[in-house]
Amino acid sequence: MRIAFFSDIHANLPALEAFFKDVDAENIDAIYCLGDLVGYNVWPNEVVNAIRERNIPTIMGNHDEALLLPIAQESKPSNKGLIRAIVTDDNRDYLINLPRHLALNFITNHEPFNLLMVHGSVKAINDYMVIDYPEKEVLDMMQSQKADVLLCGHTHKPFHRVIKNENGYKHVVNIGSVGKPKDGDSRLCYAIVELKQNTIPSNPNAIKVTFKRADYDIEKAAKALENSAFSSSYADALRDAK
């Protein structure tokens, strides 16, 4: 089974369109979104509508969560304030009612194998699950949820980490970002996770993780920011992948 996971689109419609074109060419059995559909660009409604039209199971990101707050009076428009003013009531209702976690539970060779999707971490929606996150804390979080694989986003930096424990192996997969990479590679990023007959906790190679990168029209996204009320620094961040 091949499952695609993507996250952190951040209202970048050109990146999302390129992602759909790329993932549609893959032999994918299922697709999930790990949140942060909005923030940092001018197309929040178009991005939300595209994901809703495809009926993609999605969890809440911290920028989606921010829409729970009322519109604030700002002397200088902020990123979250601008997004809050742009998003339609219908899309806001969709975003603020997204689940915080999603789990996929498999049985292979009579053994359970569980995938848990979060945006930041089990602890918090805005927690930064970096590659050197303290091992004991990662294992404690995963054990509490009976998760063999923890899939997350938020940092915009992809990695696959395998941790050995007394019962076998745990996997942490940060899937990177479609709309705002921060790892020095400006191409969009998502992950394909493959499960096979040897997908059991005692196998360190229980899953195959492929990080897919694809080009998109960065200048279209950057120019849209420069011609808007958003900070032009966001355009520079897209070009530099920072």
pLDDT, the chain, mean: 96
Give the domain ranges of the chain: 2-240
Rounded distance between C-alpha atoms, residue 216 and residue 225, angstroms? 16
Residue 169, phi then psi, degrees to nearest 5: -135, 145
pLDDT at 227: 97
Cβ neighbours of residue 55 closer than 8 Å, sequence gap 6 or more: none
Give the pLDDT confidence of 84-135 residue by residue, as tens digits.
Answer: 999 999 999 999 999 999 999 999 888 999 999 999 999 999 999 999 999 9
Report, as an integer, the average pLDDT of 216-236. 97
CB 119 within 8 A of CB 125: yes
The residue ranking higher by pLDDT, 166 or 181, is 181
Q: Where are the alpha helices (DSSP H) in the chain?
A: 13-24, 44-53, 62-65, 79-86, 89-96, 135-144, 218-226, 233-240
Q: Write the class of the CATH domain 2-240.
A: alpha beta
> Of 132, 38, 40, whose CA–CA distance to 94 is shortest?
38
Give the pLDDT confidence of 30-43 residue by residue, as tens digits.
Answer: 999 999 999 999 99
Q: Which residues pair with 33 in a beta bridge?
A: 6, 58
pLDDT at 74: 73
pLDDT at 225: 97
CA angle 7, 8, 9 (to 5 degrees): 100
Here the tokens at position 85 are 């003013």
